Amino acid sequence: MQQANEDWLARSRKAVWHPCTQMKRHESLPIVPVARGEGAWLIDFAGRRFLDGVSSWWVNLFGHANPRMNAALLEQMNTLEHVILAGFTHRPVVELSEQLGELTGLGHAFYGSDGASATEIALKMSFQYWQNSGQPAKTGFVSLHNSYHGETLGALSVTDVPLFSATYAPLLRQTERVMSPDWRLAEPGESAEAYALRAAAALEALFKAKAGELAAFIVEPLCQGAAGMAMYHPVYLQRARALCDEYGVHLIADEIAMGFGRTGTLFACEQAGIRADFICLSKGITGGYLPLSAVLTTDAIYAAFYHDDVTRGFLHSHSYTGNALACRAALEVLRIFRDDDVLAHNHSKAAAVAADFARLAAHPRVAHARQLGMIWAFEVIDAAPGFASRLFEAALTRGVLLRPVNNTVYLMPPYVVTIAELQQVFATLQALLDEGLR
């Protein structure tokens, strides 16, 4: 069976161009061939089991091969798999749009196929709103330092991760960056709240100088995932909302990673008590089953496109817009949230392992230990270059799949993870730190 693993690995290296990867590194770094999934676990061709500590890139909510998700999809597959959404509609897309509207307080759900396309849609809609509203100078976008909003060219323009964007700089639009409220960057003695307010003051200064040229401010609410689970105080979002209102700039909440319960509430913005002008959803929306994204907005913004003139409409499309199977998966996700009281269970799971995580947090090699909903993260203060791939490999041999971001170790498991499994991950990390893995 080990042979089967080797075969798939070799064939994958030859035929598949893996994402976000210098392929040459796979001469030494292993690719993990996954034969099947079961709950929070991935299983290779030799029967080795790995706890999916990254929810398969932050998308899986209720486990792999979930029987309820499977049944819903099978039923949908036998009814309608897909139909063009221009000029046509269908039951899953209508029901999903209604439910997302109720849950977000926004409406007019527009669909794309992945997170980056949701970012593109929100940016284009905001830009066109101002065009349609007689304010053509408002064309600029603002994002936070260390922001991540996807990697197509428009999304990459508001993404601040030089590793991903520097190569393409000549293709990207100039956009504004403002100070991140990430509390790891606070001065000694400065509270997370005080730091967030200081960051909000920087946003205000920018708005004061340039609001006339700005269409929108895009932000990952409460936690900048790709920045290394950079968490911040919700007061920042409250100030950002107030400033966007005062200066006439749209607020785009990119809940692609943080939505669907990840931060402890269904949507992260709820914890700040704010409603954005646009919300971008993807990743967990289908429980990790199928690619789907959605952008919802306000009635006022929608109304600015509603006109006899065709070109004032939002003439944007993707072939798989509103895919029936993906929408049905999303409906089942929302049903599971309701039926199983998922948010309350997640809350009690996190509370049950709080002492275990506190022990890890007290480790002398650990800094900035933090937890929000179903995310646990910390920095390893003495990590050497290459730490992320060494920890990845070491954890893998102990049955845990983790992908640190530089020296930030994080755990973001499917919600079906058990208390014992969480404790197992913390114990594994404790052992690796004790052994001096750098």
Ligand X SMILES: *Cc1c(COP(=O)(O)O)cnc(C)c1O
For residues 114-142, one letter each, b for 16 or more C-beta atoms within 10 angstroms of the residue's C-beta and e for the rest, the string is bbbbbbbbbbbbbbbbbbbeeeeebebbb
The structure tokens listed for 323 are 């895919």
Closest CA to 130 of 320, 300, 328, 348: 300
How far is the C-alpha of 218 from the C-alpha of 357, rounded, in Å? Answer: 32
How far is the C-alpha of 275 from the C-alpha of 288, rounded, in Å? Answer: 25
57 is in an annotated binding site: yes
Smallest separation (angstroms) from ligand X to the CB of 59:
8
Tell me which residues touch ligand X (CB under 6 A). Answer: 114-116, 119, 148-150, 220, 225-226, 254, 256-257, 282-283
114 is in an annotated binding site: no
Smallest separation (angstroms) from ligand X to the CB of 158:
10
Smallest separation (angstroms) from ligand X to the CB of 112:
9
Q: Are strands 293-297 and 278-281 parallel, antiparallel or unpaired?
A: antiparallel
How far is the C-alpha of 171 from the C-alpha of 155, rounded, in Å? Answer: 12
Nearer to ligand X, 19 or 386 (CB): 19
Smallest separation (angstroms) from ligand X to the CB of 22:
19
For residue 103, the tally of other CB atoms under 10 A from its CB is 18
Number of separate helices (H) and strands (E) present in the chain: 15, 16
Nearer to ligand X, 220 or 332 (CB): 220
254 is in an annotated binding site: yes
148 is in an annotated binding site: yes
382 is in an annotated binding site: no
Smallest separation (angstroms) from ligand X to the CB of 137:
27
Between the two ends of the chain, the Cα-to-Cα distance in Å is 32
Nearer to ligand X, 226 or 296 (CB): 226
Alpha helices in 150-233 (DSSP H): 153-157, 162-165, 192-210
130 is in an annotated binding site: no
Nearer to ligand X, 121 or 249 (CB): 121
26 is in an annotated binding site: no
Going by the annotation, the residues of the binding site for substrate are 57, 148, 283, 317, 403
Which positions make up the binding site?
A: 57, 115-116, 148, 254, 283, 317-319, 403
List, as residue ranges, the binding site for pyridoxal 5'-phosphate.
Answer: 115-116, 254, 318-319
